[in-house]
Amino acid sequence: MAQIALAVLLFPAAGAAVLGLGALRLPRRAVQVIGPGVVWASFLLVAYLFWHSLSHPQPLNLTYWTWVHSGSFQVPANIYLDRLAIFMGLVITGVGGLIITYALGYMEHESDASYARFFCYMDVFILSMLTLVLSGNFVFLIVGWAGVGLSSYLLIGFWYWRWTAVIAARKAFVMNVVGDIGMILGTFIIFVSFHQVTYTGVFAALPGHDTPALEAIAFLMLVGGVAKSAQLPLHTWLPDAMEGPTPVSALIHAATMVTAGVYLVGRLHPIYDVAHYAQDTVAAVGAVTALFAATIAIVQTDIKKVLAYSTMSQIGYMFLGVGVAAYAAAFFHLMSHAFFKALLFMSGGNVIHGMKDEQDMRRYGGLLRQMPATAICFLVGSLALAGIIPFVGFWSKDMILGAAFSKPAGQFPVSMWAIGFVTAILTGFYTGRMWWISFAGKPSPDRPVERPHEAQAVMLVPVVILAVLATVGGFIQMTALHVNVTLIENFLAPTVGRISWSGGALELEVTVATLILALAAFGLGYLIYVRRSLPVWSRALPFLQRLLEHKYYFDELYDAIFVQTMNLSARGGDTLLEEPVVEGTPEGVGSAASSSAGILALAQSGYFRTYALIFLGGALVALIVLVAVRA
């Protein structure tokens, strides 16, 4: 078992190493086999572990060696193999495998070396993400955390000759580092409080521990989660991250990396169950971000930006889920979101590929007739995103909303539900808008390609697979309609427990209301954008339109607070410190030496008689001194 778990990590590591070292020499066929192949190999191993865990619910703590052994500080290299880790591993390797296979076709226009470099980076990402979820201690968690941050940077800036891509990659990395600092500080406090860094050790020592320290740990870890999952206020990097190739957006910025924050809270749930303030903060951050992002998504014209903001919004839902301790619901939504968001990005990628890298939706129009398979798959994803039955998004989102609605813990969960409810309606609206503008109606006159071709097989098959998963995936956890099918909850129960409260009758009606309103919002888009029978709302409220288009001016705010301050201090340092001191000191020494030499050189007048007089004068003085001493 230990070998199998290790092999799950070793496969992508080997793939990354081979592709990285051999990028200039490997033939394209080899890259096409190795790149996705190692991920599928890991998937098979994880599937085996999954099947094994069905009959063995208890977690396994597999230690391979001791990485750090410094006095009382010990960091073992261990894997904590419990059902949560396996669940995440399935999502990562399964959806990741589909996306990387899809990328074989999407990235076909790259040069051979670039192609290999792409898949090397993708394998590095898979390795880091698996390290993150399989790690058995806080230190390796941070290693994986940093690794996915690095992969994100490398992949956003993949087309490094593009200035915008480089800036976006840098922005993402810097914000992630802010989160990393929070995580590292949290780990410091953990070590100081518990004197160990393994999950089992820390969780065993939790009972009776003083709560302020745990609250601090929970808040600091949350900072990391907020940065990685692009929640308020560390969210501005995610829309810019769409500069990367579409498979990157699908894998990293939709399905897996951005969900790391959710995993973090779930993994550390023993701490969060005790640190109530931190947990409430998680829910609040999630809910507010969900609403915030949904409002911005309404005015976006770039198809990938709509999906980016919708990702931000849906992760807000997941944070809401873990924030009210409905862990199974949150992870169900994580899985379902992985399905439909990857589906949306990939079918959107088919459109972008067919339209020669055009991403502005206003230049699409009428694609349903020309790319029917992609259009249908995109529709499936859109309906899942909007939370329409029978697609998986309905089951997962409404499970979260229902849990929040019914939680018997005062006003707080219900207020979170209210925010989520409004967001669901907005989600239906912007999702519908996205589909209607792109696929329905007449083709736009600004179209770059008259007759875009449907995607090739390697790009279409993964999309169809995900569409199928998005359609039937919901039926394994049907709590939303109070049907007693709870496979996910059962699976994750040994790790995160069950949802301890059950919904009343009102919850069912609320769920149905959400469904109907979301569907209506989706259909509203048809009237506004296709039939044009209703005016576009932004004409009446131009101020609101501008506010949303500028993303509530967060970028400008951060620029003023952080970037300008840095620039000012750097320039100040340059004038106050660099020029006078660092450059001035050697220059000053040099000029002092040469000016003193200049003064001394005045004695060398070149005139003989001056010299002669000085000789004679000196001789006279010497003589006097000699005689005086003798006397």
Nearer to other proteins, 161 or 608 (CB): 608
Supply the minimum distance, in Å, between the C-beta of residue 628 and other proteins: 7
Nearer to other proteins, 356 or 630 (CB): 630
Number of residues that bind other proteins (CB under 8 A): 20
Supply the minimum distance, in Å, between the C-beta of residue 621 and other proteins: 11
Most distant CA atoms of the chain, gap in Å: 127
Supply the minimum distance, in Å, between the C-beta of residue 157 and other proteins: 60
Supply the minimum distance, in Å, between the C-beta of residue 608 and other proteins: 5
- Kindly indicate which of the ranges 331-339, 354-362, 499-507, 608-616 contains the residues binding other proteins, using the contact rule CB under 8 A: 608-616
Nearer to other proteins, 24 or 603 (CB): 603
Per-residue interface string for the shown chain with other proteins, residues 204-233, x marking contact by CB under 8 A:
------------------------------
Supply the minimum distance, in Å, between the C-beta of residue 572 and other proteins: 43
Nearer to other proteins, 68 or 614 (CB): 614
Residue 297: other Cβ atoms inside 10 A: 26
Q: Which helix (H) or strand (E) holds 98?
A: helix 83-106
CA distances from 401 to 161, 272, 291, 333 (A): 44, 20, 14, 11
Supply the minimum distance, in Å, between the C-beta of residue 562 and other proteins: 57
Q: Which of residues 2-21 bind other proteins (CB under 8 A)?
A: none
Could you give the angle at the alpha carbon of 373 between the alpha carbons of 369 and 378, nearest 5°? Answer: 95
Nearer to other proteins, 561 or 621 (CB): 621
Q: Which of 200, 35, 221 is nearest to 127 (CA)?
A: 35
Nearer to other proteins, 483 or 592 (CB): 592
Q: How far separated are the first and last CA of the chain, in Å rounded?
A: 106
Nearer to other proteins, 457 or 628 (CB): 628
Supply the minimum distance, in Å, between the C-beta of residue 627 and other proteins: 5
**Long-range pairs for 128-131 at CB < 8 Å and ≥24 separation?**
129/92, 129/96, 129/256, 129/257, 129/260, 130/8, 130/9, 130/12, 130/42, 130/89, 130/92, 130/93, 131/9
Q: Are 479 and 329 in contact (CB under 8 A)?
A: yes
Distance (Å, whole) CA 119 – CA 100: 8
- The strand pair at 60-70 and 73-81 is best described as antiparallel
Per-residue interface string for the shown chain with other proteins, residues 610-629, x marking contact by CB under 8 A:
--xx--x---x--xx--xx-
Q: Are 393 and 380 in contact (CB under 8 A)?
A: no
Per-residue interface string for the shown chain with other proteins, residues 578-607, x marking contact by CB under 8 A:
----------------------xxxxxxxx
Would you call the peptide bond into 233 cis, given omega within 30 degrees of 0 as the criterion?
yes
Nearer to other proteins, 560 or 616 (CB): 616
Q: Which of residues 283-322 bind other proteins (CB under 8 A)?
A: none
Nearer to other proteins, 505 or 631 (CB): 631
Supply the minimum distance, in Å, between the C-beta of residue 587 and other proteins: 23
Supply the minimum distance, in Å, between the C-beta of residue 595 and other proteins: 14
DSSP state of 414: H
Q: What is the DSSP string of 611-628?
A: HHHHHHHHHHHHHHHHHH
DSSP state of 265: H
Place of tokens 């909850």: 489
Nearer to other proteins, 553 or 611 (CB): 611
Nearer to other proteins, 457 or 627 (CB): 627
Supply the minimum distance, in Å, between the C-beta of residue 594 and other proteins: 13
Place of tokens 């709560």: 211
3-state secondary structure at position 446: coil
Q: Are 337 and 251 in contact (CB under 8 A)?
A: no
CB-based contacts of 309, cutoff 8 Å, min separation 6: 239, 293, 294, 296, 297, 300
Supply the minimum distance, in Å, between the C-beta of residue 624 and other proteins: 7
Q: Which of 90, 125, 410, 394 is nearest to 250 (CA)?
A: 125
Name the residues that contact other proteins, by CB under 8 A: 600-609, 612-613, 616, 620, 623-624, 627-628, 630-631
